[in-house]
Amino acid sequence: MARLLVKGIVFDMYGTVVDVGAVAAACKEVAPDPIAFNTHWRAKQLEYTFLRSLMGRYQDFWKVTEEALEFTIERFAIQVTPEQRRRLMDAWLHPTPYPEVAAALRRLKEKYLLAILSNGTAKMLLTGLDQTGLRQYFRRIMSADSVKLYKPSPKVYQLALRHMPLKKGEILFVSSNSFDVAGAKNFGFKVCWISRTGIPLDPLGPKPDLIVRGFDDLVGAI
């Protein structure tokens, strides 16, 4: 495959740069099966972003995450104290990067303008990137909250063109989320899908330009 000629790389945050599965560690305190609890919480979190965008009833990603947590607690029929709820939510402010990410970003920053474009609120993103030490690698940190819609709305991807001195064809968008890959490719970006688990890509639209297993493969491919 020919190398992609791009000048900037825009990354999704959750599930791409940081491991949403790591939130399961915080769920151990309240759930007998923390992985199942966390997986359901994440699924509801994303479902609510889609529903709220479609209904025109926007709430920011922190609020959506709280709503998804509330449903998941009821769904699993467990008792959770206010302090435990706070610790569960705070897990999103203390994310765990995938192990190869920092070194890969260090190398990519030498050649490309790097940015984050996420559904997360500005506070969630900035706090999380500060906690992980990754903020230094990104020139721009963009939140869907600024347009009051969620990915895969084209208005969210438009933020990259608004805040970066690059043309659409000069940007590579990187995500591990199928809906995000479809949305970014539909918008017109070159797209890389990080497929860490090997699960099939949802057949929602045009295929990504590049498929890798992690950040090291991304560095090698471009």
Q: Which residues are catalytic?
A: 12
Edge-to-edge order in the sheet of strand 190-194: 140-143, 113-118, 8-11, 171-175, 190-194, 210-212
Percent of the chain that is helix, strand, coil (3-state, to 5) = 50, 15, 35
Tell me how crowded residue 7 is: count the other CB atoms within 10 A of its CB. 15
Give dist(CA 208, CA 16) in Å, integer. 15
Q: How many helices (H) and strands (E) does the chain have?
A: 9, 6
* Token digits of residue 204: 């929602």
Length of the chain: 222
Give the pairing type, strands 171-175 and 190-194: parallel
DSSP 103-134: HHHHHHHTTSEEEEEESS-HHHHHHHHHHHT-
